[in-house]
Amino acid sequence: MLAPHKTAIALAAGALASCSSVPPARSFAPVPNVPLLSARPVPAPAQDQAVITLKQEIPPVDPDQIATRGAIKANPSVVIHVPPDRVSVATTGPRAATDVRTSAQYNRAEVEIAKSLIKAGFRVLDRAKFEAKVRDLREKKLNALVESARAARTLAEASAKKEREAGKLTEAEYELRMARIIKDQPLVPDRPPKLLVSDMVELLRACENGPVTADYIFQIDSFDIGESGERTVRIDTRPEVVEFLQRNPGIEIPESVTQPFWEARIAAKLIDVATGEIVWIGAYQAESLAAIKGGFRISLECTRTVVNGAEVTAAIADHNKRISAATAECNAARQAFIRGWEAGEHDRIAELENAFNESANRLEQLQTPPPAATAPWKYEYDLKTEIDPDLSKQSTPREQARKLEHDLDLLTLVARTLIATIEISK
């Protein structure tokens, strides 16, 4: 049998023994107060972001990669000389960013080398001036060869003609002799192709004499860029990401991201035009991260949506409905109990009291809401991981342009860093 619901019954002295028709005085326990659950507004979809920025200081030049005779002369003039295999007028192809073109048609990579030399304190001379001098020297040399060849052929032809006239050669033998002379003593072409300056000896001669001279030749032995392999960056333990995970319970993110990195390399030497001495020689290389302006940026962007909102709302509504029904039932049982007592229905008092106590107990049990009504919000996440710059993507024109921009930044970095090691006298 259920225990009575905290019913405080106060009877007048001797009331139970009294047979009076007036019911003894007493007080009745109130209906338990079980408040309705407050509504829980379902959070609207929300966006969140975590940004990781990876930066790298420009690595110093390895002293073992540099050899120098000391400071060079003040206010030096220099002309750039490129490797023969990089002399090209092409504007497309796999080495479009690093092919060094000559004459006045410097490509962007050579322009960066020129800018780096100027920043270091050099006066950079346009190589076109020296190419014109080389072409003049070549034409003079060729003209001398042509004249010599013509003179030799003329002499041989005259000798053959004289022998024929002296009867030493038949007409047939004379024709054979002339054909052999033409074959064995060809003339050099009147005009050579306009070759670019790729021969160091010719360039040295061009820099030494004439109205335009240079103190030094900056010879580029190599200047290129290539893949240095993939790099994996662990992101899930970084503070920015740990806070992001705490704000977004249950979200799944990649443990790490992988990116292809690139490496630019330059090797060069500085040659004293007057002596031919190498006064400085160096090499340097650096990877992508050192050249990315503002750092390598990894962003985690998510849209968070509640997926158990309807379930929680329904559970609250159902629980409040049960509280309202149980409260009404308990009120009705209490009123019936009071009327029975006041009417002196002694044979039903115990039954009515038990009914009230049971309904009150059922109502009090609703003080604790069901787990579904208080459950934490469950989220569904739409996660996007972005990498900027993403060097693995090169399919669209925009991506290709971004990769080319990165290549030029990296080439500029290695050129400037290496050239800055050249010491110029004050």
Q: What is the CA radius of gyration of the chain?
A: 49
Chain segment 245-259, per-residue pLDDT in tens:
999 999 999 999 998
* For range 44-72, the mean pLDDT: 91
What is the domain extent for residue 149? 129-199
The number of beta carbons lying within 10 Å of the beta carbon of residue 25 is: 9
Q: For residue 341, report the phi and psi dihedrals to the nearest 5 degrees.
A: -65, -45
The amino acid at residue 203 is L
Asked whether residue 173 is domain-assigned, the answer is yes
**Position 158 pLDDT exceeds 80:** yes
Q: What is the percentage of the chain residues whose pLDDT exceeds 90?
A: 45
**Position 95 pLDDT exceeds 70:** no
Calpha distance 367→363 (Å, rounded):
7
Identify which of 105, 196, 150, 253 has the alpha carbon closest to the alpha carbon of residue 114.
105
Asked whether residue 322 is domain-assigned, the answer is no
Say what the pLDDT of residue 17 is. 38
**Position 180 pLDDT exceeds 90:** no
- Pick the range with the lowest mean pLDDT from 213-222, 348-357, 416-425: 213-222
pLDDT greater at residue 27 or residue 364: 364
Calpha distance 413→416 (Å, rounded):
5
Calpha distance 138→205 (Å, rounded):
12
Asked whether residue 93 is domain-assigned, the answer is no
pLDDT greater at residue 129 or residue 165: 165
**Position 307 pLDDT exceeds 90:** yes
Calpha distance 272→215 (Å, rounded):
6
The CA dihedral of 131, 134, 135, 139, to the nearest 10 degrees, is 180
- Contact of 421 with 61, CB cutoff 8 Å: yes
* For range 312-341, the mean pLDDT: 95
The tally of domains found in the chain comes to: 1
Strand 379-388 relative to strand 216-234: parallel, antiparallel, unpaired?
Answer: unpaired
Asked whether residue 194 is domain-assigned, the answer is yes
Residues 6+ apart with CB under 8 A from 151: none
Calpha distance 384→390 (Å, rounded):
14
- Contact of 117 with 124, CB cutoff 8 Å: yes
In the block, residue with structure tokens 């996660």? 383
Say what the pLDDT of residue 151 is. 81
pLDDT band at 122 (very low <50, low <70, confident <90, very high): very high
Q: ∠ CA(64), CA(269), CA(219), 5° rounding?
A: 150
pLDDT band at 20 (very low <50, low <70, confident <90, very high): very low
Say what the pLDDT of residue 157 is. 82
Most confident of 43-52, 146-155, 204-213, 339-348: 43-52
Asked whether residue 67 is domain-assigned, the answer is no
Say what the pLDDT of residue 177 is. 82
* For range 309-335, the mean pLDDT: 96
Strand 278-287 relative to strand 256-272: parallel, antiparallel, unpaired?
Answer: antiparallel
The number of beta carbons lying within 10 Å of the beta carbon of residue 268 is: 22
Say what the pLDDT of residue 201 is. 61
* For range 105-118, the mean pLDDT: 76
Asked whether residue 182 is domain-assigned, the answer is yes
Sheet hosting strand 46-54, strand order edge to edge: 46-54, 296-306, 379-388
* For range 13-37, the mean pLDDT: 68
**Position 227 pLDDT exceeds 80:** yes
Asked whether residue 153 is domain-assigned, the answer is yes
pLDDT band at 153 (very low <50, low <70, confident <90, very high): confident
Half-sphere exposure of 80 (CA within 13 A, CB side): 31
Asked whether residue 317 is domain-assigned, the answer is no
Say what the pLDDT of residue 94 is. 46
pLDDT greater at residue 199 or residue 335: 335
The number of beta carbons lying within 10 Å of the beta carbon of residue 246 is: 8
**Position 92 pLDDT exceeds 50:** no
The model's pTM is: 0.62
